Structure 1
């Protein structure tokens, strides 16, 4: 970022943090994509909480951003294993904030598997969780009983611009990878698996580029939505894969299992919008497939009579080019900051919650005053 852009972003977050000062500061743990613009947001979180650790998602770490953040806060290593075992998770949280009130800021439901156990056993108090993504929202929603408030911004109208622009960045990065070996989008029928916010955005953008798009989703409601918008809707995954030259996985859960890869059309490209551990069951792929790097961020999987290409090792393809959505990401980040204050009010019951509509309106007005120029 240029110096004047940094100054404007700093002024914006100062205005937001002044607007949403919590009644009582809590300690915080922040999971985030540590992208180039992210230090400003991290500073804002630290202004509203006693930020004990930043845990960057491992496949989206900008080296310069990490160095900048390390100057003012501890940066720890994040893995699913850290929050898969209750004892491991408890030891970690106790080591950083034992006996204190804490807020957990999440991206993708990392804390969900151990939340109930942490809530019961932690020597302090878990004030609540703030979740940023649809995938994480669903992970918390499917828990039998939430032990504390979870404020989700995943379905906020302020996130709609980000979702649309993430779809654009996915299509851009996918085409860039394909062009790296002389291929283009056109002439390759595309299959979009998952017709949620991101999947529908990707499908529309591909269609606008003149690409033939088929949609597959296990949810019959979403299938009817796709059909009403003019897309071909596959009846089953197997037949859809057989005819697709490009497969984009946008479910946030497993899109392709081990047995599905054998149905891919020869030479098909596969790309995802989340991590490989969420979208692809690569470990179940038969050992007969050999893996060969055939270009920047592109791997060919090949066995006798069959081959396909996987972009970015199965991880989110848009992160190859920074996953930038411009200043619209600052709307979502501001809502996360507002959620910190909401949790500090201490009157939320256990369960899923959202930031209020008036607070969203305040955020949008502040954002427009800084970025609608």
Structure 2
């Protein structure tokens, strides 16, 4: 049991962490000030299942400023920053999250966010929406937002099968999210997590990146920039060709497994690194996941291969020793390495993603009752507004079209 003094210290540490993040989130801070004046979310109940980090706290503060009543659970048992969770309670936000909880507690926390029936839900990976459709189907939710590729894949499948019961905005699919959060945020924070966990030198090492979407592209670019030889594995022929034309070696995982030193999965799918791949790997290989769930690396197969496991050889590093003495190093239990071994995306990147999400919530508040169930793109004007605000906050100016240019772009009659 924590003493009053320890709780006070934890809250103060969380407030400092949130304040530091807010310095790099001018767009969301400006939106929070606007929300405080306009109160677009008055009377709205929001249930959120997100990574409980300082950046998320700034988003929660913006929604609270707009009038929303908020309950927040973690979307990953290892990603919660306990000091931030403690500080959020002082903002009038009901937080059900604690670092390192078991899966039973993790799901209980999600259920607790739904005990006061929400109007809007915010999800990160699909667990909250899944529970709403499988275990809490009596709740009449008006709409939601989803912030990850993994979650949107699930939602589109639900919509295709006619199972989705309310409209959901695909926040992950905005240009500002994919270009900056997925590419630059995931790229930097993933390598940050790997280096914090292992203190490994990446220069001269062979880094295998599984998946060449926006996230995988970011990881590959950052690893290449640090002097690594980068191999890409893919199932999509267009993405595989793209990786090859960008100068990366492209191999099937079966061949990459034999030569890689560091493996990073970024696919949103399961069993990307399987037993046969693990069995072929060299001594000292580092295994990291930057996809959403802990299924991309087959941890059960790794456990079956190992003669023994040395847990916690370093913080967030478990060493699996095979029968022939080879050692495979699993980071963050196969969960998100960037949020478990590091602090997640830089706040400057999350400023754009969470600004789009805040504006999408306000849009949903007015539109959800007129929308049939389905997956919806964030309105283009919201995406453009976030980019304009970010440019202004960073002091960057761009050109504007002249009247003649506007006419030319909207006319088919002009010749060459």
User: What interval of TM-score do these two structures reach, taking the shorter chain for normalisation?
Assistant: 0.7 to 0.9
TM-score by length of 2: 0.77
Corresponding residue to 1:248 among 240, 243, 264:
264
Match of 1:356 among 356, 379, 392: 379
Number of equivalenced pairs: 361
RMSD (Å) for aligned C-alpha atoms:
3.0
Residues 259-302 of structure 1, C-alpha deviations (whole Å, 9 max, x = no match)? 43212222111111145523222123316431113223222110
Q: Gaps spanning 5+ residues in structure 1: where?
A: none
Say whether 1:297 aligns with 2:316: yes
Deviation for aligned residue 1:326? 3.0
Aligned to 1:156: 174
Separation in 2 of the partners of 1:106 and 1:80? 17
What corresponds to 1:365 in structure 2?
Answer: 388
1:309-355, Cα deviation, whole Å (9 max, x unpaired): 11222222222231241322111111111111222222222111122
Q: TM-score, normalising length from structure 1? A: 0.86
Alignment of 1:172-187 (within 5 A): 172-179=192-199, 183-187=200-204
- In the TM superposition, residue 31 of structure 1 has moved relative to its aligned partner by 1.4
Deviation of 1:190 (Å): 1.5
- For residues 49 and 340 of structure 1, do their structure 2 counterparts lie closer, same or farther at Cα, with a shift above 3 Å needed? farther
Is 2:221 the partner of 1:204?
A: yes
Q: Is structure 2 residue 153 aligned with structure 1 residue 138?
A: yes
Equivalent residue of 1:129, what SS?
Answer: strand
Counterparts of 1:356 and 1:19 in 2: how far apart (Å)? 23
> Matched residues in 2 for 1:169 and 1:282: separation?
22
Q: In 1, Cα distance between the equivalents of 2:113 and 2:342?
A: 33
Counterpart in the other structure of 2:402: none
* Structure 1 SS opposite 2:228: coil
Residue segments in structure 2 that go unaligned for 5+ positions in a row: 1-15, 397-416
Contact 2:286 2:330 in 1 (8 A): yes
Q: Does the 8 Å contact 2:73/2:113 carry over to 1?
A: no
Structure 1 pair 189–366 and aligned structure 2 pair: CA distance change class (3 A): closer
Corresponding residue for residue 329 of structure 2: 309
Contact 1:13 1:40 in 2 (8 A): no
Name the CA distance, whole Å, in 1 between partners of 2:330 and 2:320: 8
CA distance in 1, matches of 2:342, 2:275: 28
* Counterpart-to-counterpart distance in 1, 2:238 and 2:268: 17
